[in-house]
A and B are shown apart, each in its own frame.
Chain A
Amino acid sequence: MPEKEGMSLIVKEVARLIAPPIFIFGLYLTLTGHLTPGGGFPGGVVFACGFILVVLAYGGKRAFRRLPPEGASKYDSGGALLFLVIGLIGSLVGGHFLYNFIQAALPGTVFHLLSAGTMPLINIAIGMKVAACLFMVVMALTLFRLAGEKGGES
C-alpha cells in the first residue's frame, strides 16, 4: 500500500463522513465531563482517534501537512500548563492547590452545563493534553515507519 495515497476511495469517503461526528463526540465527552460519565481523558482519546482515522485513511504525508507535529506539541504542553495555572490560581485564591475558586464564587445549578466551577476548565485542559499527546504517539510511530521505508536512519 503506497503511503502517500492513503486507502481506497470507499475508506476515504466513509472517513470523511464519520470523522466530524467523532470530533463532536470527543468534544461532548470533554465538555460534559462534570455531569456524565466521561471527562477530559476519554474525550481527548476519542478526539485523537478522529485524527488517527484521518491519518489512516488519507495517508501520513497529506495529514501531516495539515497537522504539523510541532503544533500538536504546543497543544500538549499548553494543556498541561493550563491545568497548572488553574491549580495555581486555586492556591492563590483559596490557599490550596486546585482549590475550586469558581465554585465558591458562582455555585451554578447542579446538573447544568455551567456548574461545578473549575471542573469543566480542568477537563478541557486534560482533553487538550490527552488528544495532542495520543495523536503525537501515533504520529511518532508513523514517522518511524516513513523513515524506515525511505531507508534512512530513525
Chain B
Amino acid sequence: MSWVFLLVALPLGGGFLLPLFDKRWAERWLPRGSEALTLALTLATAGLAFATIGWEGIYRMGGWSPPLGINLVVDGLSSLMLVVINSIALLVTIYSFKYMEDYTPTGKYYSLFLLMLAGMNGVILTGDMFNLFVFLEIASIASYALVGYRRGAVELEAAFKYLILGSIGSAFIIFGVGLLYAATGQLNMAQVSRNLAGQGRGVIGGITAAFFLVGFGLKAAQVPFHAWLPDAHSSAPSPISAILSGVLIKALGVYCLARVFFNVLGIDEIEGNILMWGGTLSMVVGALLAVGQEDLKRLLAYSSISQVGYIVLALGMGGIMLSRGEQALASLALVGALFHLINHAANKALLFLASGAIEEQAQTRQLGEMGGLFHRMPVTGTTTLCGVLSIAGIPPFAGFWSKLIIIVAALWGGFYAVATLLIATSVLTLAYYMRVEREAFFGAVPERLQKVKEAPAAMAWAMGLLAAGAVGLGVLYLPGLREMVLQPAMNVLLEGLRYAQMVLGG
C-alpha cells in the first residue's frame, strides 16, 4: 500500500496548483481547467479510498518507523471514513460545476475545496497526535474561508463566528495533545496508547480527556458547543454546506472522538456517559430547534446537530458497554453509530444539495415562499423525498435500519430513558421533515414560482446518486457486505488496544 499518501498529496498538490494558473492565460487556453483538474483529483481519491477497503497496515513517511516518524494508518475505520468523505466530495464536485458558475473566482473555490479534502483525508489517515492537529487545522481553515465565500454581510459574520469558535476548539485540542505529550513523552498515537496502558491514565490522562471532549465536541457541534453550526452551514454555498454537514463535522469531530477515546486513551464509563448524555442532549435540542425554523438551510443545519447527536450517543453507549465488559452489546451500539454516520452523510449531503437546487431555481430559502415545487422540479422533489424519508427513519430506507440498531442496543443495554428519547426524537424528526415536504413540495404552485425549472443535469445527477444511497445503503448491514465495511470498522473500536499492536507490532 505504497500509495496511501496520495490521498493527501493529490488534493494538496491540486489545491496549490490552482492558484498558480494565470487567470487570463487559463481563460484562453484552459477554459474550465480548474473544474477538470478538481474532477480528476476527486475521481482519483475516490478510487483510492475504495481500494483501501479490506486492507490494514501502516505507511511510513520518509521510511521512518512508527514511534520516531509520522506514519499513516489504514484500518477498517479509516477505510470507512475515507470512502464516505471521498465519494461525497466527488459528487459535490460534479454538483459544483453548475452551481458555482455564478461565483466569479471559481479557481479559488476549487483550491480551498481541495485543501479541505486533503485536510480531512489527512485527519483520517494520520497516526500521530500532532499531525492530526495540523490536518485538522488545514481542513478547518479552508472551511472558514469557504463559509464566507459569498462575502455578504451575513456570510462574513457566520464565517467569523465559525472561525472564533473553531479556533477555540483547536486550542483545546492542541492543549490536550500537549498534556498527552507531557504524560507519555510520545506523540505517536499507537505509542501513546501503549504507554498509557502500561503506566495508567492518572490525573493528566483525565484532564486530557476533558480537553478533547470540549475540543472535538466543538468540532462536532455537540450541544452546548453547537452555536456556530446553524450560521456556518446555512451561509456557505450549498455544495460546501453538503460537505460541512455531510462529512466535515464527522471527520473532525466524531471520527476524532472515536479514534482518540477508543484507540488512544481507552474509554472508561464516565467518558462513555458524558458522550452518551451529551449526544442525547444534542439529539433532542437539535430536533426541537429545527421544528420552528423558517429557513430551509437552517432547518437542515439544526437537523445535523440532532443527527450527529445520534452517532455520538451510540458511540458513548458502546463505550459504557465496553467498560462493563459487554462485548456483544457494545458491538451492536458501535455498528449502529458507524452505520448512522454513513447514512447521515449521504442523506444530509443530498438534502443540502437539494436545498441549493431550490435556492438556485426558485431564488428563496424561506419555506413560506415555496410551494408545489414537486410539479416544477420533479427530480429534486423525488430525491429530496428519498432523503427525507431516510433521515426520518421510514422502514425500507437506509436511515431506518441504523436508527433501529441504535434503539435496539439502547433497549438491550438497559438505557430505557435514552431509548424513549431516541424514539421521541425520531417522531419529531419525521414531523419537521414532513413540514418541509408539505410547505415546499406539495400543494399549489404560487404565482411567483410558475416559471421555475428543474435543476441542471450535473446537479440532478449528483442528487440522484445520493438518493440511490438514501434508498439502498441499508444493504450495508446484510451479511456479506457487513463483513466488508461495517464489521472491520467496528472491530477497530471494539478492540481498542489492538490499534497499538497493529501499528507497532509485537
Contacts and interface: CB of A to CB of B under 8 A. Distances in A.
Interface of A: 73-74, 76-78, 80-81, 84, 87-88, 90-91, 94-100
B55 interface: no
B62 A90 contact: yes
Per DSSP, chain A at the interface is helix
Given A77-B17, A97-B59, 8 more contacts: A73-B19, A74-B19, A81-B16, A84-B9, A84-B16, A90-B62, A91-B5, A95-B2
Given A74-B20, A95-B2, A87 B63 contact: no
A78 B13 CA distance: 10
Interface in B370-391: none
| Residue of B9, B17, B62 most packed against chain A (CB within 10 A) | B62
B60 interface: yes
Contacts of A94: 63
Contacts of B17: 77, 81
In the A-B complex, the 9 residue pairs with the smallest Cβ-Cβ separation, listed nearest first, are A98-B62, A96-B63, A80-B16, A97-B5, A77-B16, A77-B19, A77-B20, A84-B13, A81-B16
B13 A99 contact: no
Nearest to B63: A96
Contacts of A78: 20
Nearest to A78: B20
17 contacts: A74-B20, A77-B19, A81-B16, A81-B17, A84-B13, A87-B5, A87-B9, A88-B9, A91-B2, A95-B2, A95-B63, A96-B60, A96-B61, A96-B62, A97-B59, A97-B61, A99-B62
B62 A97 contact: yes
B62 A80 contact: no
A80 B2 contact: no
Contacts of B63: 94-96, 99-100
B315 interface: no
Contacts of A77: 16-17, 19-20
B12 interface: yes
Contacts of B2: 91, 95-96
Contacts, number: 45
Interface in B6-45: 9, 12-13, 16-17, 19-20
Contacts of B19: 73-74, 76-77
Interface in B45-72: 59-63
B61 A98 contact: yes
Contacts of B9: 84, 87-88, 97
A1 to B, nearest CB: 28
A132 to B, nearest CB: 11
A98 B63 CA distance: 8
Place the interface of chain B in its size category.
10 to 19
A48 B83 CA distance: 40
Contacts of A98: 61-62
The residue in A76, A96, A100 that gathers the most chain B C-beta atoms within 10 A of its C-beta is A96
A65 B62 CA distance: 42
Contacts of A88: 9
Contacts of A100: 62-63
Given A91-B2, A91-B5, A95-B2, A80 B61 contact: no
A73 B5 CA distance: 26
Contacts of B13: 81, 84
Contacts of A80: 12, 16
B20 A81 contact: yes
A45 B276 CA distance: 45
A82 to B, nearest CB: 10
A128 to B, nearest CB: 12
Nearest to A104: B63
Nearest to A98: B62
Nearest to A74: B20
A87 B63 CA distance: 12
A18 B60 CA distance: 44
A115 to B, nearest CB: 17
Interface string B410-436: 000000000000000000000000000
A120 to B, nearest CB: 15
A135 B104 CA distance: 25
Most A Cβ at <10 Å: residue of B5, B17, B63? B63
Nearest to B10: A84
A96 B2 CA distance: 7
A94 B62 CA distance: 8
Nearest to A81: B16
Interface string B464-481: 000000000000000000
A114 to B, nearest CB: 20
B156 to A, nearest CB: 9
A81 B17 CA distance: 7
A87 B19 CA distance: 20
Nearest to A82: B16
Contacts of A74: 19-20
B131 to A, nearest CB: 13
A84 B61 contact: no
A154 to B, nearest CB: 8
Contacts of B20: 74, 77-78, 81
**Which of A76, A80, A90, A97 has its CB near the most chain B CB atoms (within 10 A)?**
A97
A92 to B, nearest CB: 10
Contacts of A96: 2, 59-63
A98 B19 CA distance: 24
A137 to B, nearest CB: 12
A84 B12 contact: yes
Contacts of A97: 5, 9, 59, 61-62
A34 B17 CA distance: 28
A6 B403 CA distance: 64
Contacts of A99: 62-63
Interface string B57-93: 0011111000000000000000000000000000000
